[in-house]
Amino acid sequence: MKRTERSPVRDAVAACLAAVATIALLAALSPAAARAGEKEDAQAAKLARGAYLVTISGCHHCHTPLRMGPKGPERDMSRMLSGHPESVPLPDPPGPAGPWNAHIAAPSTAFAGPFGVSIAPNLTPDPETGLQNWSEERFFRAMRNGQHNGGWRPILPPMPWSDIGKMTDEDLSALWAYLRSIPPVKNQVPDSRPAPPPPAK
């Protein structure tokens, strides 16, 4: 059997070449790895900004239902931003009485007033009952123009679209990205019922 001769010089050269190749590979990979890391950091920062904006703009007030807790009404975060609970039916509201011309349904997700009955929709990305089919562009249009569902009627009070729509493009985009990232909740919210237009004179 022929034994391969080992030469210390050849071994040293081979080790050097391997080291050079490793360094070259790392140098080629690290900018890509750094870029990927930066992209992840930017996305995480965008989602954090979106979460912050959702909180300070009060979206939870109307889109996250209240439930009765030991200290009184509290937000049911297991149904975060899923709108008016389908389990709470909404019969016709009592009529206006003097200056008390508006009513809020118990989970604080449905409102009645001279505008009709407006019901906070499910903002989670649930494929059947949430905003899964919405595009960012559609979200921007709704918040900037106040047109429900692409435009067939105005978005009803008390949804503060005209304030929310004044956010910068960057903030509105962060808010939207965050809404896409939250847990989907299956909850079929009934349609709002706008008041009929006043009779023509």
List residues near ligand HEC by CB under 6 A: 54, 57-59, 61-63, 111, 118-121, 123, 142, 148-149, 155-156, 158-160, 164, 175, 192
57 vs 173 by CB, closer to ligand HEC: 57
Contact status, residue 90 vs residue 105, Cβ threshold 8 Å? yes
5 vs 137 by CB, closer to ligand HEC: 137
HSE (side-chain half, CA atoms, 13 Å) at 14: 6
For residues 188 and 123, give the distance between their C-alpha atoms in angstroms, rounded to a whole number: 11
33 vs 135 by CB, closer to ligand HEC: 135
Q: How many residues does the chain have?
A: 201
51 vs 67 by CB, closer to ligand HEC: 51
CB of 49 to ligand HEC, least distance (A): 13
Nearest partner of 65 among 114, 104, 117, judged by Cα: 104
For residues 23 and 178, give the distance between their C-alpha atoms in angstroms, rounded to a whole number: 40
22 vs 135 by CB, closer to ligand HEC: 135
CB of 173 to ligand HEC, least distance (A): 12
CB of 86 to ligand HEC, least distance (A): 15
CB of 27 to ligand HEC, least distance (A): 45
Contact status, residue 99 vs residue 114, Cβ threshold 8 Å? no
CB of 178 to ligand HEC, least distance (A): 9
The DSSP string of 73-123 is EEE-GGGTT--S-TTS--PPPPPPBTTB--EE-TTS-EEEETTEEEE----
